[in-house]
Homo-oligomer: A and B are copies of this chain.
Amino acid sequence: MKDIIPTENLVAQICRAAKSAAPALAGSGTLDRNAALKAMSEGLIARCDFLKEENAKDMEAGKAKGLSAAMLDRLLLTDARIRQMADGIDEVIALPDPIGGIERITRRPNDLLVGQMRIPLGVIGIIYESRPNVTADAAALCVKSGNAVVLRGGSEAIRSNAAIAEILREALGKAGLPEDAVSLIPITDRAAIDAMLAQEESIDLIIPRGGEGLIRSVVEKSRIPVIKHYKGVCHIYVDETADIDQAIPICVNAKAQRPGVCNAMETLLVHENIAHAFLPKVAEAMAAAKVQLRGCPQTIRIVPTASPAAEEDWGMEYLDLILAVRVVSSMDAAIDHIRLYGSLHTEAILTRDHAHAMRFLREVDSSLVLVNASTRFNDGYQLGLGAEIGISTTKIHAFGPMGLEELTTRKFVAFGEGQVRQ
């Protein structure tokens, strides 16, 4: 118990310092924030050796702890990866400043001019696991959008994260902005997360990035609003009128181009009237891409090489070269399946029928709904937002990829000349 009070105090102190730093950042000009970002990107390159030294300590501790080769690889910082972090910050510099503009100014009947000014949210708390590049990526987006940020990374990367945060804070100081606008919580046990989730007087929004368990526990405990992204169980529905030659490459791209990410297809729904023509061809293409199929009984009658799907295959996020396949009797059945098993992430219809396309767009309730294109497009860069800080699968505040604009809000402003209310 001895330990708990200092942790809470330290976390509270860091969060209060971030809150104090937030107005100066929010009030700073575009050029100042871009100068700070430039100093961050240059600082990462200039202190590359320091970063690699600190990272080596994390790697050593990780090996001693018995981390898997895949986890160690995610943890590793190389010259090329440090360069990528710096390039990522340079890309954020090039994006337009999202704050300060006034939108939708209208004149009221009493001549009051009313509009909405884009402003930062204030202080954003990011809770994430392993990869140290998140420290730089997330901080850059927050600073660009005028938000202070409190970062709480995983224990495996603590030295790497601390080294990156030190460089980012120095860069803020060099640009005349408060260093406390970027802070890393140096405590890696759960108590530090709990303490952070209770700082509702200092933190305006929590964004957790990591496994479903982490996100659920954050939602359960937080008194601060949370924007969450649980998982991606993405579906493609192949309509009876689909263009088969177009559908095959879309399905292979959606499943196999990068199977380990949240916008990869996990379940393929096929209209029964096209199943005999389509399934053998898609099965062949998937086999060539080393994808295993798990099918419903109708699928297996047409593609005997597929293994039978169990009930738990529907709604499963494989993140692997495995695809669940189900034959459906209608578009309604496809939409019902998505409603029951989907995760509100990304769904596509492949069709030549205009009315089907429009109805699917309207009725499917996902953060991105596509017609005749791969689910892999659900990504901030691909959709034209620039860098993203995550993909929200809940509808409050942001739904889908969160770019700079989603890190802002709007306050009303009114220009009067003596108006009073009647």
Measured CB to CB, the residues of A under 8 A from B are 23, 26-27, 100, 106, 108, 112, 114, 117, 119, 121-122, 200, 204-205, 219-220, 223, 225-227, 243, 246, 249-250, 253-254, 257, 339, 357, 361-363, 365-374, 376-378, 382-384, 394-397, 399-401, 409-421
Contacts and interface: CB of A to CB of B under 8 A. Distances in A.
A421 to B, nearest CB: 4
A384 B399 CA distance: 26
Given A122-B395, A204-B395, A339-B23, A400 B420 contact: no
B362 A411 contact: no
A100 B362 CA distance: 8
Nearest to A415: B371
Nearest to A363: B27
B418 A246 contact: yes
A420 B204 CA distance: 38
Given A225-B396, A411-B399, A257 B420 contact: yes
A368 B413 contact: yes
A108 B396 contact: no
A27 B332 CA distance: 13
Sorted nearest first, the 8 A-B pairs with minimum C-beta distance are A373-B416, A253-B420, A376-B421, A397-B397, A368-B412, A395-B409, A372-B416, A373-B419
B382 A108 contact: yes
A374 B421 contact: yes
A204 to B, nearest CB: 6
Contacts of A363: 23, 27
A317 to B, nearest CB: 18
Contact of A411 (B122, B369, B371, B413): B369
Contact of A420 (B23, B106, B250, B412): B250
A95 to B, nearest CB: 15
B395 A121 contact: yes
Contact of A413 (B108, B249, B369, B413): B369
B220 A369 contact: no
